[in-house]
């Protein structure tokens, strides 16, 4: 896999929470040749199944397809488009950004004049598409249509890249890489590759998917914050230091067994890793852990700076480490039965 090429292709398809049709269609084409069965559930999750022999534990591997964005709520007399946030928008980070609608209409999102950054909210932001009147704007945009900050991915030095939405198209790319690694490997238990919906608004998709097939093990792939920028909160994770094995975040305490196993596999296979404790924020890990009868749940994260901005930054080497460690973990579930 050319991880940069794959990631860039996924990033350039806008798909906010609840409107994941575009990215789901693209990922479906990519995952279908690597699985025995592919389907879309009632909530919109894309699920690919690699069937096992029935002799081992099932595992769910999950990354979310959706991204944060803006939903059109009102168009005023001068053609300005008022919006509501979808997910955790940092309004200061979003201000004066180029945006694009689901139909390809371009614009800029800006705050009202004289509003100070501390007072930024959805009520004092609007999107300017260049329309001179409400009638002109309504010919291009309808109430309920979404906008996102214009997607882009660029190379920086070394394996560093920046752009959006790396959260969580980098996780989707990792999951596709794992599916490639496991394609020719034998698995005793069923493997469920889940590309979930609506993570950014409450980890909804992963909850219903995990409930449907009750995996014994589950592993989430997402981004995490870092402690390597000036003035940031203390945190052990750094960009470029390898796959981040989650121990805890504000929504989950990962199962001690899975954390220990991931660390052991990383050390045995000389896969670069680091330990993650995230004091604010959560991922689909929590939903998978608590759904149905529960699951032995863990997560591998790609350390990412400036999350939920237009310039998210990560290191492709960390993503490659997540692919290697995730694939090795799944293989270990079958090797233990032989």
Active site residues: 199
Nearest to 319, CA basis, from 296, 297, 301, 295: 301
- Evaluate the CA torsion angle 46, 51, 57, 61 in order and state its sign: negative
**Contact by Cβ (8 Å): 55, 273:** no
**DSSP E strand stretches across 31-96:** 37-40, 46-50, 59-64, 69-75, 81-86
Cα gap 152→316, rounded to integer Å? 16
Nearest to 74, CA basis, from 129, 143, 134: 143
Nearest to 319, CA basis, from 150, 157, 167, 148: 167
Cα gap 138→115, rounded to integer Å? 27
Alpha helices in the chain (DSSP H): 3-11, 21-31, 91-94, 134-138, 166-182, 204-213, 256-268, 285-290, 316-335
């Amino acid at each position: 896999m050319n991880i940069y090429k794959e990631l860039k292709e996924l990033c350039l398809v806008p798909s906010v929470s609840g409107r994941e049709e575009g990215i789901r269609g693209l990922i479906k084409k990519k995952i279908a040749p690597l699985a025995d069965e592919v389907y879309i559930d009632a909530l919109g999750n894309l699920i690919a199944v690699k069937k096992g022999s029935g002799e081992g534990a099932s595992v769910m591997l999950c990354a979310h397809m959706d991204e944060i964005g803006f939903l059109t709520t009102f168009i005023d007399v001068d053609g300005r488009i008022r919006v509501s946030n979808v997910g955790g928008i940092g309004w200061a980070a979003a201000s004066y950004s180029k945006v694009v609608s689901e139909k390809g209409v371009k614009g800029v999102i800006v705050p009202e004049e004289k509003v100070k950054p501390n007072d930024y909210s959805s009520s004092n932001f609007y999107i300017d598409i260049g329309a001179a009147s409400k009638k002109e704007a309504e010919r291009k945009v309808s109430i309920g249509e979404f906008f996102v900050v214009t997607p882009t991915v660029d190379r920086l030095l070394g394996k560093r890249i920046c752009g959006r939405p790396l959260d969580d198209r980098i996780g989707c790319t990792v999951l596709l890489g794992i599916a490639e690694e496991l394609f020719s490997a034998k698995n005793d238990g069923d493997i469920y590759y889940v590309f979930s919906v609506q993570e950014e608004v409450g980890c909804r998709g992963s909850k219903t998917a995990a409930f449907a097939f009750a995996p014994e093990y589950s592993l989430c792939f997402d981004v995490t914050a870092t402690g390597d920028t000036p003035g940031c909160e203390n945190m052990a994770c750094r960009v470029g230091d390898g796959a981040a094995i989650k121990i805890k975040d504000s929504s989950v305490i990962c199962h001690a067994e899975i954390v220990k196993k991931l660390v052991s596999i990383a050390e045995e296979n000389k896969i670069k890793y680091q330990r993650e404790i995230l004091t604010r924020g959560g991922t689909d890990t929590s939903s998978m852990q608590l759904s149905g009868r529960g699951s032995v749940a863990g997560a591998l994260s790609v350390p990412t700076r400036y999350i939920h901005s237009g310039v998210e930054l990560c290191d492709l080497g960390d993503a490659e480490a997540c692919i290697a460690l995730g694939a090795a973990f799944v293989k270990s579930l079958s090797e233990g039965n032989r």
